[in-house]
Structure formats: structure tokens, C-alpha cells
A and B are shown apart, each in its own frame.
Chain A
């Protein structure tokens, strides 16, 4: 199935679900059940909003109640004190919610991991204090007896049901659009490894900010709708920990990182909790919480990633088992057919020029005054003993670390001090020592993340991703989730991802690590082909004998300084190199030979 076909199919499933829900609401006559049918979509929107941010980007927000409550209070205050109809109050809440997202996201993104999660926790708590201080201990929406519809007040819940379902339709549609687009894939890449995402050309800060703005706008709108359905709000009831937790629980129960998760979670848990309240609350007060909690724990134990992924895994295992062998055979076959030994094509023109670059960490001078040129179309190996500063040098080249002194000129432009994603956009790709795959995404999607950098339209990017997979021989497994690949395939996939961004130069950090002998040979052949595709290669590798057959020349680092550079045959016989690697005794012995 093509991508747009998948999108259309998902849209159809979604619309069918919404229509069934609406039909249920129109059919049921008991207003209590109608109220329940109305609140479920509101919670689903809050859960989707959490998922759009935390589910995709992996930055856990414990504080989505901040946005939800803000929306509720914007409508409450504007309605009660300024007589503004909620029909205008709700869009106002959406806009102010988005602004709040930016205002909260901008400073908080400086923090990472647990620190970010904890900082997010503080916002709703602060909001409770602020709103209580402002004197809004409880806010009740005025009852409009004349022309209630103008103030979004209806005697029949079906009107509210249609409002909440419309909002849900919008939220789910937005989420579906994001899910496998440039936006969603960039966030997923950030979730897996922010540094790798940066290196793949993703402006992580901008995407995160976009995500939190969108998410906050959705949460705030959900809160606004909540306030006109429930009619009474207090700071604790809309900013409370329970609200933030609700957003998380509904999503994680259903499955994070997919639009279906929040929908499944809300459709099951909200009615379950309410039914427990109704059936058990007056018999044994409090037992409902216990039953609810136990049910959630049981499901999480069986399906730790949520119900949706559990089902998907189950279906895929059945589908993929017979295919596995076939896939592997195919890969081996295509590769041996395609890859031939190609002569090197290094030119004299330098594509990358490094001048007197230095970096110190306190007293440790990791890189000292290093200068070299990389000729366009060449394959250059950077070698040196452990701690020689090889990876630091890479980090300096692609912007992860800012140099203390010196400059880097790439393709005629000064790149010194640019952010990694900018460096990547100018045409310098990179792979990492440890492969960073996005296991839930297909191989094609993994590679597409790298392609988005170089192409403005998504269609071109997908095309480039396919082509890139073809270049490394993984075309036949394009739709397999990356979590099912072998380490060799993962290495190839990562290479394809870096190539998909159309780099002029690629930095390979130990591309042979973890590969067997046969696999190493394969990889060597693929790397040797890269100059013919217009890609200059700079690589770090420990496996010396493999390097000798691969590179045009070596750059040798020792203790952060450039020791020597030159042709492989010359460098490997250089006494200083041998000494650096093996010690003075060996160097002397070798010289005597």
C-alpha cells in the first residue's frame, strides 16, 4: 500500500468510528449516558494532545493540565466576567493555549530527560496557586435563560456531543497527518536520540517547539470544551495532577506514538472508570479507584507499550515469520550482484579544510591545533590509539562541539560553530559508533528521516529514501520495522539514512564495529562505491587491515594532535605511528627490520 492509501484507509477507519459514536449518542435517550458519550471525546482530545507532544517526541510532560486548565479558565473567565460567548471563547482558548505552549516550551527545552519532566510538573502546580490567588476558587458558568444557544448552552447533550466529536475529528485528523509526515518522523527521531536527530539535519529545537505549541493548543481547546460541558471549574479540578495523569494514562494504556493509542485508551478507560463509580461507588466507596488501578496495571503488564502495539506485534509476528528467510536470501543475492570493485576517484580539490582547530575540556586538550585538507571524492581514514581525539574531532567537524580556536571550511563556506542540523543541511552527513535506529518505524521511514533535510517536498524525500536503500541493497526490506533487523542490516540502514540527505561528505564513525568477517567485506565494498555517487568519505575505524584496503590516505592523531598524514603504505610504516599505537619498543624493533 502506498503512503497516501494508508492515510486514506486510516481516515476512513477514524470517520467510521466517529460516526458510530455519534449514532450511539443520537440513539441513546438516557441523558446520563449521553453525558458520558460527550466527555469521552474531550478526554480523547487531551490524550491526543499529550501524544502529539510526548508520544512522538519522547519528552515526557507531567504538566499538560497547565494547558487544559488554562483553556477551561479562559472560557470561564471571559464568559463570566466579560460576557464573551464560548463560541468566541473556545477559539480564544486555542490561540492563547498555543502561546502558552511557546512560552513554556521555549525556556523548558533547555532541560532534558527527567529534568524536563519535573519542570513540566511545576507549571500546573504554579497555575493552581496563581488562580487561587486571583480569587477563582470556583468558577461557575452563568446560566443563560434567553437565547442559550448563543452562549453554547443546550438542554440536550447531543449538541455538546457534536461539539466534542467535531473537536476530536480535528485533533485526530491533525494527529494522523503528523504521524508519518516530516513532522512526526522528526519528532520520533528526537525521541530515539536527540543528538543523532540533530546530526541527521533535524532542527530539534524548532520541531519540539512546534510540537508543544500544537499540543498546547489542542489541550487548551479540550479544556475550554470541558468547562462548558461541566459548567463548574476549580483550579484543582482542571490544573490538578489527576488531569495530567489522565492524559498520560489514556495514551500509554492505548499505545503512545500512534493516533489510535489515545483513542483506544479513552474509549475504554473513561467509561470503565465512570461505570465503576456508578456501580460500586455507593456500595463500597473508594473501591472503584482500586479496581480501576488494578485493571490498568494488569493491562500494562501484558502490553507494556499499550494495547495498540500489542495487537500490531501479534499480527505482524504471524505475517512476518514465513517471510524472514526469504528476505535475508534476497539481500545477499542483490548485493553480490550489484557491488563491484571500483577504483578510487580522489581529486586535488579540497572539499573540507580544517585550520588550527583546538578544543580543551578543562586541563585536557582533546584536540590541539589540528589542520588538514580532505580532497573531494576521496576516502580518508582517521586513525589513532584510544583517546587520541578522533570522535571529538568528528564532533567538532559536524558542530556537536564548538571549537575553542581554529576554523572549518566546507565546500567553500565557513562552518565553524554552526549547529549540527545546519552543518548537515550544508551537506555533511554522519553516522554514529552505536547505531541509532527507530525500531517501531519501517526501514524506509528510518531512512526518510535523513532525506527530509535535502528535499522540500515529502514526495521527493520518500523517493530519495527508496533510492538510498537501493544503493545499500536494502530495497527489498523497505517496509520491515527496523526492530527486526540484524546488526549488519542496521549498519547499512544507518548508512542509507546518512546518504539519503544527499551529503557531499559523510563522516563514518566506526562503520565496521560489530560486523563479522564476511559482513565487513560487504561494507567495505559499499563504502568504496560512495565516491562514485559524489560522496567524499571520512571515517574512523579501528580495524587497521580493513582500513588499509579501503582508504586513499590516513590522518593519524595522537594525544589530540596531528601526528602525520599520507598514503596508507607510508603511514603504517611510520615509526611514530607504530610507537603511538604499540609503544616505543615495537617501533624500534620495526625500524631495525
Chain B
């Protein structure tokens, strides 16, 4: 009963403020955040939330949104839970109860983002996401913006990127191998690498190709075959953290880690503090992973402030991307000279940032194509160095030069 009464009075209060709002200068601008704050993806959601909160604090400390009379930014945080259904409910709640949001960010896992944007698109709320799935921006939606390179493009870009980076580090790999589980993302990631002759143009040959069904009971046979084939590098693509650990342990046992054979992973789990905890920094040393965003040497200050503020060991992809999303919204409002969702969405379609928020994303430029995909999106390579994952490619923004393993 108490809750109900509180709800009623809250609704009444919101109704009143909404009515009286046009009379006053806008003092607050709402940006929604829907993330999985509970359930198996809670960690990623939490990291995203912290990045966004930090951006909001930075904006407000610097005087808010000047185009709207110095209005302060307010982050409306909504827990989207652990399923598309809950995500959709959360989005519906956001656009119903805070119908004045000028934009929103979330929800990392692509099926969640798909569900959220089904609602926000219909409500005309511009939505920004780091999700990789090309489907997110393939539905003909007008208000969805994707800042990461899409998954299919990432897969295409990986081999040339790795080769360029190897070259910069003074290596010239000619053979490679694949060790992966049979889940969707590594299957999609490696599909083109297996097409006969597809790697010829890079002068690369696939010499060992091992696929298993997770969880891995014994990594021994797999890693032994890798050792026998002696490729110049391998893509190590298990998606389960415990399988990554097992593979690394076996590799260590037979002398493949610690800079003896270059291993490259992909996606989010390889950069998580959890992996450091269970695998230890010695085994991780030199291991690389390809991802859609990571702090560069230009944003190290930001990353340092983040770690100090949150106590996290480093600033991961989720945090920096969502920090960036809030900053892009700010720029859009300033450029639009208005703080409404219509104006913000309109502006985002023609925005072209080369500085400020643009430096927070690979490619260093923020502009979107007609689908809502960031045109200059690229991938980066991060390497574990003394227990910290640091950006090593592209070289011009690398925190330090890449170190290619020497057999």
C-alpha cells in the first residue's frame, strides 16, 4: 500500500513538473541507460554504467549543456535484467515514465539491444550502442546508432590488422592456426579464414585447425597438435573463461606461452579482470586480443581517473565506449542548440566530430551512415603486459609498441 501511494504521488509530481516545464528554463536533460545490471551480464552492465556516470559528472562539472542554458545531465538508470523480454519491459518503462529523455544508451548484448531498440525506435528516442551485431542497424530503424564496427566487418578486418601490427613489431608470419569452441561467435569469426585460398592474398597458410565443444575437459591433445604444427601465431577463441584458462595452462606446460608463440583472442572476455585472477599475469603475458574499443595513449588520463574513481584495475571497452556515448549526445545537443529527442536524432545523422568525443573511439572520427553505423569504426589490438591489457595497435595511438612472440 505504501509503495502504491508513493508511486501515485511520484506520478502526480512528475505530471506537475512536466506541465510546468515549458514555463521555466530547462534545468535538466535526461539520458536513459538500460544495461543488464543483474544476471550473468551484470558485470558488463556495471562497467558501462560507471563509464556513463563518469561522463555525466564530467559534463555537469564543466557547466552542463550550454545550448540549453547550462542544463545538467541526468542519467536515468534502468536495470534491463537478463533476457530480451525484461529488456523490452525496461525500455517500455523508460520511455513511458521518463518520456522526456533526449536519448539513451545500452544494452551491450546484441539481443538485448535489439529488444530495447524495438521500443525506443517506436518512441523516437535516439539510441546509441556498442553492440556488434549487424542486425542492430539492418532493420531500417531511424534512431539507432552503432559506434562499434559490426561483427562481420571485425572478422574481415582482423587478419589484415594482425599482419600490419606484426609487421610494425618486426615479424612476418606465414602460418597460423585456429583453436576454438563451436559456439556462434568464433564460428562466424573464422568462417572466411577457412575458405580455401582465402588467405593466399595475405601469404598466410592455415596449418592447424582445432574445434571443440565447450566445456573443454582436457586441453592437452588440442595444444599438443598446435605445438606439432608450429604455426607462427594462433587464434585462440574459446568463449568460456575457464576454457581459456585450461588452454593457457596446457600451453604453458608444453612451453607455448610467455612469448614463445603469439596467441590472439577476440571479443570481451579476454580483457576481463576475472581472467587475470584465474590465469595469472605470467601466463597472460604477451597474449593479444582484438576488440572494438580500448583506451589509447590519448585517453590514458581518462582511464587513470576511471580506475582511481572506481577501484577497477583498468578501464575496459564497455566503460570507455559508454563514456563516449554520453559525450556524443552532449555534442549533438550543443550542435543542435536544443535538448529534445527529435533534434538530437536529426543532428546525429549529420554530425561529424573529429575532436573531443571522437578521440574516444577507434578511427578518431564520429559520423554515421544512413543505417546509423559509425563510418570510421575500426578494431584495435590490445596486449597483456605485466598483468595489464594495453592498446598496442594502431601504432599512432598505442600506449606502447606491440611485442610479437619469438619462438
Q: Spell out A's residues near B (CB within 8 Å).
A: 30-33, 35-36, 39, 132, 135, 137-138, 140, 142-143, 145, 155, 226, 230-234, 236-237, 240, 242, 274, 277-279, 281-282, 285-286, 288-289
Residues of A contacting B183 in the complex (Cβ-Cβ under 8 angstroms)? 132
Residues of B contacting A237 in the complex (Cβ-Cβ under 8 angstroms)? 83-85, 111
Q: How far is the CA of A30 from the CA of B81 in the complex (A)?
A: 21
Residues of B contacting A142 in the complex (Cβ-Cβ under 8 angstroms)? 139
The answer to whether A138 touches B133 (Cβ under 8 A) is yes
The answer to whether A286 touches B38 (Cβ under 8 A) is yes
Which residue in chain A gives the minimum CB-CB distance to B93?
A32
Q: How far is the CA of A240 from the CA of B88 in the complex (A)?
A: 17
Q: How far is the CA of A461 from the CA of B317 in the complex (A)?
A: 71
Q: Spell out B's residues near A (CB within 8 Å).
A: 3, 37-39, 42, 45-46, 77-79, 81, 83-86, 88-90, 92-93, 95-97, 110-111, 114-115, 118, 121-122, 133, 135, 139-141, 183-184
Residues of B contacting A279 in the complex (Cβ-Cβ under 8 angstroms)? 3
The answer to whether A285 touches B111 (Cβ under 8 A) is no
Residues of A contacting B86 in the complex (Cβ-Cβ under 8 angstroms)? 277
Q: How far is the CA of A234 from the CA of B113 in the complex (A)?
A: 12
Tell me the number of A-to-B contacts counted with CB atoms below 8 Å.
97
Q: How far is the CA of A33 from the CA of B97 in the complex (A)?
A: 10
Which residue in chain B gives the minimum CB-CB distance to A36?
B89
Q: How far is the CA of A282 from the CA of B92 in the complex (A)?
A: 15
Given contacts A137-B184, A142-B139, contact A232 B114 (CB under 8 A): yes
Q: How far is the CA of A289 from the CA of B38 in the complex (A)?
A: 9
Q: Which of A36, A132, A140, A233 has a CB less than 8 Å from the CB of B184?
A: A132
The answer to whether B111 touches A155 (Cβ under 8 A) is no
The answer to whether A231 touches B78 (Cβ under 8 A) is no
Q: How far is the CA of A143 from the CA of B120 in the complex (A)?
A: 13
Q: Which of B39, B110, B118 has a CB less than 8 Å from the CB of A231?
A: B118
Taking the closest CB of chain A, its distance from the CB of B40, in whole angstroms, is: 10
The answer to whether A231 touches B115 (Cβ under 8 A) is yes
Residues of B contacting A288 in the complex (Cβ-Cβ under 8 angstroms)? 38, 79
5 pairs, A vs B, C-beta closer than 8 Å:
A138-B111, A142-B139, A226-B85, A237-B83, A278-B90
The answer to whether A232 touches B115 (Cβ under 8 A) is yes
The answer to whether A135 touches B184 (Cβ under 8 A) is yes
Q: Which of B42, B93, B122, B139 has a CB less than 8 Å from the CB of A140?
A: B139
The answer to whether A234 touches B84 (Cβ under 8 A) is yes
Which of B84, B86, B139, B141 has the most A CB atoms < 10 Å from its CB? Answer: B84
Taking the closest CB of chain B, its distance from the CB of A234, in whole angstroms, is: 4
The answer to whether B37 touches A35 (Cβ under 8 A) is no
Which of B81, B85, B89, B140 has the most A CB atoms < 10 Å from its CB? Answer: B85
The answer to whether B89 touches A281 (Cβ under 8 A) is no
The answer to whether A30 touches B79 (Cβ under 8 A) is no
Q: How far is the CA of A135 from the CA of B78 in the complex (A)?
A: 30
Taking the closest CB of chain B, its distance from the CB of A75, in whole angstroms, is: 15
Residues of B contacting A278 in the complex (Cβ-Cβ under 8 angstroms)? 89-90, 93
Residues of A contacting B38 in the complex (Cβ-Cβ under 8 angstroms)? 281, 285-286, 288-289
Taking the closest CB of chain A, its distance from the CB of B369, in whole angstroms, is: 19
The answer to whether A31 touches B92 (Cβ under 8 A) is yes
Q: Which of A143, A233, A281 has a CB less than 8 Å from the CB of B37?
A: A281
Q: How far is the CA of A240 from the CA of B82 in the complex (A)?
A: 11
Given contacts A39-B85, A233-B84, contact A138 B140 (CB under 8 A): no
The answer to whether A138 touches B89 (Cβ under 8 A) is no
The answer to whether A143 touches B140 (Cβ under 8 A) is yes
Taking the closest CB of chain B, its distance from the CB of A578, in whole angstroms, is: 67
Residues of A contacting B95 in the complex (Cβ-Cβ under 8 angstroms)? 31
Given contacts A286-B42, A289-B38, contact A31 B96 (CB under 8 A): yes
The answer to whether A32 touches B97 (Cβ under 8 A) is yes
Given contacts A31-B92, A132-B184, A277-B90, contact A138 B110 (CB under 8 A): yes
The answer to whether A281 touches B78 (Cβ under 8 A) is yes
The answer to whether B37 touches A282 (Cβ under 8 A) is yes
Q: Which of A138, A155, A231 has a CB less than 8 Å from the CB of B88?
A: A231
Q: How far is the CA of A285 from the CA of B118 in the complex (A)?
A: 24
Taking the closest CB of chain A, its distance from the CB of B82, in whole angstroms, is: 8
Q: How far is the CA of A274 from the CA of B79 in the complex (A)?
A: 11
Residues of B contacting A281 in the complex (Cβ-Cβ under 8 angstroms)? 37-38, 78-79, 81, 90
The answer to whether A140 touches B114 (Cβ under 8 A) is yes
The answer to whether B89 touches A274 (Cβ under 8 A) is yes
Q: How far is the CA of A201 from the CA of B301 in the complex (A)?
A: 81
Which of A138, A233, A288, A289 has the most B CB atoms < 10 Å from its CB? Answer: A138
Taking the closest CB of chain B, its distance from the CB of A417, in whole angstroms, is: 46
Which of B83, B86, B139 has the most A CB atoms < 10 Å from its CB? Answer: B83
Supplied contacts A31-B95, A281-B90, 18 more A-B pairs, CB within 8 Å:
A31-B96, A32-B89, A32-B96, A35-B92, A39-B89, A132-B184, A137-B111, A138-B111, A138-B135, A143-B118, A143-B121, A230-B85, A242-B83, A277-B90, A281-B37, A281-B78, A282-B37, A282-B79
Q: Which of B39, B83, B88, B133 has a CB less than 8 Å from the CB of A35?
A: B88
Q: How far is the CA of A288 from the CA of B81 in the complex (A)?
A: 10
Residues of A contacting B81 in the complex (Cβ-Cβ under 8 angstroms)? 277, 281
Given contacts A230-B85, A281-B37, contact A143 B114 (CB under 8 A): no
Which of A145, A240, A282 has the most B CB atoms < 10 Å from its CB? Answer: A282
The answer to whether A143 touches B83 (Cβ under 8 A) is no
Residues of B contacting A138 in the complex (Cβ-Cβ under 8 angstroms)? 110-111, 114, 133, 135
Taking the closest CB of chain A, its distance from the CB of B248, in whole angstroms, is: 25
Given contacts A237-B83, A282-B77, contact A35 B89 (CB under 8 A): yes
Q: Which of B42, B84, B96, B133 has a CB less than 8 Å from the CB of A30?
A: B96
Taking the closest CB of chain B, its distance from the CB of A235, in whole angstroms, is: 10
The answer to whether B139 touches A143 (Cβ under 8 A) is yes
Q: How far is the CA of A142 from the CA of B114 in the complex (A)?
A: 11
Residues of A contacting B77 in the complex (Cβ-Cβ under 8 angstroms)? 282
Q: How far is the CA of A132 from the CA of B188 in the complex (A)?
A: 12
Q: How far is the CA of A55 from the CA of B88 in the complex (A)?
A: 31
Q: How far is the CA of A282 from the CA of B49 in the complex (A)?
A: 11
The answer to whether B37 touches A32 (Cβ under 8 A) is no
Which residue in chain A gives the minimum CB-CB distance to B97?
A32
Q: How far is the CA of A307 from the CA of B90 in the complex (A)?
A: 29
Residues of B contacting A236 in the complex (Cβ-Cβ under 8 angstroms)? 83
The answer to whether B79 touches A285 (Cβ under 8 A) is yes
The answer to whether B118 touches A232 (Cβ under 8 A) is yes
Residues of A contacting B89 in the complex (Cβ-Cβ under 8 angstroms)? 32, 35-36, 39, 274, 277-278
Q: Which of B46, B111, B121 has a CB less than 8 Å from the CB of A234?
A: B111
Taking the closest CB of chain A, its distance from the CB of B143, in whole angstroms, is: 12
Which residue in chain A gives the minimum CB-CB distance to B113?
A232
Q: How far is the CA of A7 from the CA of B122 in the complex (A)?
A: 44
Q: How far is the CA of A143 from the CA of B141 in the complex (A)?
A: 9
Which residue in chain B gives the minimum CB-CB distance to A31?
B96
The answer to whether B42 touches A32 (Cβ under 8 A) is no
Residues of A contacting B122 in the complex (Cβ-Cβ under 8 angstroms)? 155
The answer to whether A282 touches B83 (Cβ under 8 A) is no
Residues of B contacting A36 in the complex (Cβ-Cβ under 8 angstroms)? 89
Q: How far is the CA of A240 from the CA of B42 in the complex (A)?
A: 18
Closest 6 CB pairs of A and B: A281-B79, A285-B37, A138-B111, A32-B96, A286-B38, A232-B115
Q: How far is the CA of A35 from the CA of B97 in the complex (A)?
A: 13
Q: How far is the CA of A564 from the CA of B364 in the complex (A)?
A: 103
The answer to whether B118 touches A140 (Cβ under 8 A) is yes
Which residue in chain A gives the minimum CB-CB distance to B83?
A237
